[in-house]
Structure 1
Amino acid sequence: MSIAVDVQYAIEAPDLPRDADFTLWVGTVLKELKVDGEVCIRVVDADESQALNAEYRGKDKPTNVLSFPFEVPPGVPVTLLGDLVICAEVVAREAEEQQKALLHHWAHMVVHGTLHLLGFDHINDDEAEEMEALERNLLARLDIADPYQADA
C-alpha cells in the first residue's frame, strides 16, 4: 500500500500537528478503504481560507477544511487524490468552542477532508449518515471520541 502526504505550513502557529500526525490520519482513512494515494495538506490562516472559500464555494468566510479532489485523466497512472486546505485559526476556535482536544479536532478535519477527496459527501441525510458513521469508526481507531457527540 502506497500512501504519501505532503504538508505545507503557510503559517506559524502554536500547537500545529506534525507531519507525522497528518500522515497517520490520512493513512488511517486510506488503509481502511484500501486506497493508495497521495494527499497534499496546506495549513493556512483565516485570510487564505476565506479567499478560497469565497472563490470555490461562494461563501465569504473562513472555514475549517476545504477539499479539492484531483480528477485523474483516463489512462494517466497518478495516485494524487487531491489537496486539503485547513485553517488553523478556525480549527483552534472550533475545538475550544466545542470543548474538544485540539489535536483530536485536527484529526477529525483531516479524516473528514480525506473522505471528501474519496468522493464521500454530506449533502443529503443518507450521505451524511454514511460519512459520519465512517468518521466515527476511523476516529475510534485513533482513540478519538465521537466528534458528533455534544460532550466529545
Structure 2
Amino acid sequence: MKVNIINKTPNKIKNKILDTAKYILKNKKNKTINIKITNEKNIKILNKKYRGKNKTTDVLTFKNENIKIHNDIGTIILCPEIMKKTQKKNHWQKTLIHSILHILNYNHIKNKDFIIMSKIEKKIGMSGIEPPTITTSK
C-alpha cells in the first residue's frame, strides 16, 4: 500500500496522516491512495466544479471506479482550515478514516450500511463519536 501526500505538510501532520492511512489500508497491497492538503479557496472551487455546490467543505473524496484495473484507488482532498473551525478533537483523523472507508466501498446511505460502517470506524478508533460530515464525490 502506498500513500501519496500532495502539497507541503509539516512532518508531524504528515506522519499522522500516513500512520492512519496505512493502518486502514494495511491489507490493500499494491494499492495507492492520494491525499491532497488544500486551502478554503481551492476546496470551494473543487466543490463547485465536481458537486455543483458553491461553498467550502472539510473534505472531498474521489473514488477511482476502475480499481480493478488501476492501483490508484482514490484521492482525498482535506482542508485543514475548515477542520480547525470545527474545533473537534482529531477531526482530521476521523475525516480521513471516514473518507478512506468510502473509497473502500463503505457507505451510510441505508441504516444497515451506517451500522456496518460505524462498527468499522469504532474498531479503528472512532469509538464514542458520530462520524464526521463527509462530502463524497465520484
TM-score (norm 1): 0.74
- After TM superposition, list the pairs within 5 Å mapping 1:106-145 onto structure 2: 106-139=92-125, 145=127
- After TM superposition, list the pairs within 5 Å mapping 1:1-152 onto structure 2: 3-9=1-7, 18-31=13-26, 34-36=27-29, 37-72=31-66, 76=69, 78-94=70-86, 96=87, 100-101=88-89, 104-139=90-125, 145-148=127-130
- Opposite residue 148 of structure 1, the aligned amino acid is E
SS at match of 2:25: helix
- Unpaired segments of 5 or more residues in structure 2? 132-138
The 1-side partners of 2:14 and 2:113 are apart by: 30
CA RMSD of aligned residues (A): 2.4
User: 1:16 Cα shift?
Assistant: 8.4
The 1-side partners of 2:49 and 2:61 are apart by: 13
- Change in Cα spacing, 1:114 to 1:20, as seen in structure 2 (3 Å) is same
SS at match of 1:136: helix
Runs of 4+ in structure 1 off by over 6 angstroms are none
- Opposite residue 35 of structure 1, the aligned amino acid is K
SS at match of 2:123: helix
TM-score (norm 2): 0.80
Matched pairs, number? 130
- Structure of higher CA gyration radius: 1
- Change in Cα spacing, 1:62 to 1:28, as seen in structure 2 (3 Å) is same
Superposed CA offset, 1:48-90 (max 9, x none): 111111222222211111111112276x4x3211100011111
- Unpaired segments of 5 or more residues in structure 1? none
- Opposite residue 105 of structure 1, the aligned amino acid is H
Bigger relative contact order (CA 8 A; separation at least 6): 2
